[in-house]
Amino acid sequence: MTDRRILARGVRKAFGGRAVLAGVDLDIHPGEVLGLIGPNGAGKTTLMSCLLGFLHLDGGEIAFDGRSCDDLGIRARTGFVPERLSLGRRVTGWQFVRYMARLAGVPRATVDQRATDLLERLELAEAADRPMSQYSRGMLQRAAICQALIHEPDFLFLDEPTSGLDPNGVLLVRDLIAEQKQRGAMVLLNSHQLSEVVKVCDRVLFLRGGVVARAETLRHADRMLMAVRLLPGSYQPEGVKEIAGSAAENDVVVIAGRDEAEIASLVRRLVTSGADVVEIRPHMTDLESIFRGQA
Amino acid sequence: MRRHVTSAGYIAALILIGFIALFASGFARPGSMWPSLVGLMALITGSAIIGPEFSTGALQLIVSKPIRRSAYLLSRVAGVFASVALAAVVGLAAEVAGRLARGGRPFPWSRLATIFGGTLATALLTIAVLTLLGSVTRAYWNAAIYLGTEAALGTTQAILGTFRMRATGIGAFLENHPGIERTLATVDEVLFASAPEQLTWPWLARVGITVTVTLALACVAFERREVPYGTD
């Protein structure tokens, strides 16, 4: 049985003697969205380039379902949205998407229908016959997303996919990522938009100085995390820790349960212990503070 | 190919070649001027086979697709050669039309066919060498390297020839080591071949072998080449 995941172990890459990646490990499983964050120069794009086979590794290994990223069969299952798309000035959006689809191996019989459907989905249908030189930044980004998704890739690499998009476009991209996740694609998202990363990623790697400085799980497939804010002075810290399994920080305690019933039961126990509950909301890791702390 | 035929610059170049060939058809010597313009077109279009894709980001998209890099490279070479060949056809057709319209002298069919074949062969060689350079350099540097190398080879041979006239020092050394000048002349003739008066099978075979070897090396270099993306 093949090992279905994107795997990177000890990835090293240097340019002119300067180590940009100094031993990065990474795993992405089917149906998982992994976020890559970090300050400028952290090595995020270099890591993505290594994963896509644009750069040769100085050390370490990368495997997609146990095979090399240079394997044409793997590339046929890979989609890539670059940060900026600036090609084919004379070609129309339709021609571009169709050409890319053919390169990606979409059968001739279905390519037109797929291109039409996706251009419509990305709200580019009306502009499909216009030369791409007339496209705005956001429209180019939508075209880039179109070409990346047209062959329903199993491995999807998104480099700042929402850059240049209007709020509707951002929501659309969020939906599209959720759909890819739903159908079992492995998604790597490189973005500086922390709010977006929190909304779509299951896990986040914080890259700094070419190494993974911190890994955070934002969403668990098998349990829910809720942040419960308690009225200051109304609770016994030890008692809360015993019930929640973790101590309250700044009067907020994070509780975890398999389902809503288990969450409700934990909240009931907190209230019974004398704690006054002020607010309950889904727990989101505060990437901004992590970023500030790590950068 | 489509990129060229939809380009206003390319269409203008075709029209220019056509007009010049029509004008030159009045000359006694067949194949005046237009073969040089076709060669210039091979130099310009050949220098852009790979370079621009690096800077626009198109190459990163292409290499992320399930297509062999060498197949992509050779398809680009085929497209560029087809564009240059079309220019040669336009030049030839215009000259033939001009000469037929003027009538009179015996028609130089055989000479024109030789010029056309030689022009195509040297254009293909130029494109192949530029492809090799483009597979290891960036953007339009390869045109400068190509022209620089050609000029350097010619100049060096001329300088060495001048030195050889003297019997002392470097002249004596060159006299005793004729292989140096012979090697330079061979490299010049192999990489920057000019079409001979009469096309011969050995000449065509040599150009064919050079094109094949050069393109094979270009494919190997391009397969192994890193494709930088982004700046982070």
pLDDT digits over A131-151, tens only?
998 999 899 999 999 999 999
A144 in Cβ contact with A153 (< 8 Å) = no
Note the residue count of chain B.
Answer: 232
In chain A, % of residues over pLDDT 70: 97
Q: How far apart are CA A206 and CA A24, in angstroms?
A: 11
Q: DSSP letters along chain A, please?
A: ----SEEEEEEEEEETTEEEEEEEEEEE-TT-EEEEE-STTSSHHHHHHHHTTSS--SEEEEEETTB-TT-HHHHTTEEEE-S-----SSSBHHHHHHHHHHHTT--HHHHHHHHHHHHHHTT-GGGTTSBGGG--HHHHHHHHHHHHHTT--SEEEEESTTTT--HHHHHHHHHHHHHHHHTT-EEEEE-S-HHHHHHH-SEEEEEETTEEEEEEE---SS-EEEEEEE-TTSS-HHHHHHHHSS--BTTEEEEEESSHHHHHHHHHHHHHTTPPEEEEEE----HHHHHHHH-
Interval B137-164 mean pLDDT: 86
A249 in Cβ contact with A258 (< 8 Å) = no
Q: How far apart are CA A129 and CA A170, in angstroms?
A: 23
Residue B58 sits at the chain A interface (C-beta within 8 Å): yes
R_g of chain A computed on alpha carbons: 22
pLDDT value of position B229: 79
Subunit contact B229:A48, Cβ cutoff 8 A: yes
Residue B103 sits at the chain A interface (C-beta within 8 Å): no
CB atoms within 10 A of CB A241: 14
Contacts of B53 in chain A (CB under 8 A): 87
Subunit contact A75:B65, Cβ cutoff 8 A: yes
Note the residue count of chain A.
Answer: 295
Which of these ranges, A5-14, A29-38, A50-59, B166-175, has the smallest mean pLDDT?
A: B166-175
Half-sphere exposure of A26 (CA within 13 A, CB side): 37
Interval B167-191 mean pLDDT: 86
Interval B213-219 mean pLDDT: 96
Judged against a pLDDT cut of 60, whether residue A1 lies above it is answered with no
Residue B168 sits at the chain A interface (C-beta within 8 Å): no
Q: How far apart are CA A250 and CA B216, in angstroms?
A: 67
Q: How far apart are CA B111 and CA B134, in angstroms?
A: 34
- Closest to A187 in 3D by CA, of A157, A218, A215, A229: A157
Q: How far apart are CA B183 and CA B173, in angstroms?
A: 15
Which of these ranges, A43-52, A114-123, A255-264, B87-96, has the smallest mean pLDDT?
A: A255-264
Judged against a pLDDT cut of 70, whether residue A88 lies above it is answered with no
Subunit contact A80:B56, Cβ cutoff 8 A: no
Q: Where does residue B124 rank: exposed (0-12), middle (13-18), buried (19+ CB within 10 A)?
A: buried
Subunit contact A72:B56, Cβ cutoff 8 A: no
Q: Is B196 helix (H, G, I), strand (E, B) or coil?
A: coil
Interface size between A and B, measured as CB pairs under 8 A = 80
Which of these ranges, A7-11, A221-225, B9-13, B156-160, has the smallest mean pLDDT?
A: A221-225
Interface test with B, best of A24, A54, A80, A133 (most B CBs within 10 A): A54
Q: Is B141 helix (H, G, I), strand (E, B) or coil?
A: helix
Beta bridge mates, A217: A203
pTM: 0.83
